[in-house]
Amino acid sequence: TISKEIRRIGDCELSYWLSMKSIDIYPQDQDSALNALKCAISIGNDWGTLVSGGTLLAMKNEPPGIPYHKVATASLRKGRIDYSKDLL
> Could you report the per-residue pLDDT of 20-74, keeping only the tens digit for each?
999 999 988 899 999 999 999 999 999 999 999 989 888 888 778 888 889 999 9
Torsion sign, CA atoms 63, 43, 88, 22:
negative
CA torsion 30→36→40→43, rounded to 10°?
140
pTM confidence score = 0.86
- Return the closest-CA partner of residue 16 out of 26, 6, 29: 6
Helical residues (DSSP H) of 1-88, grouped into ranges: 2-9, 12-25, 30-43, 46-57, 68-77, 81-87
Rounded CA-CA distance 70/83 in Å is: 12
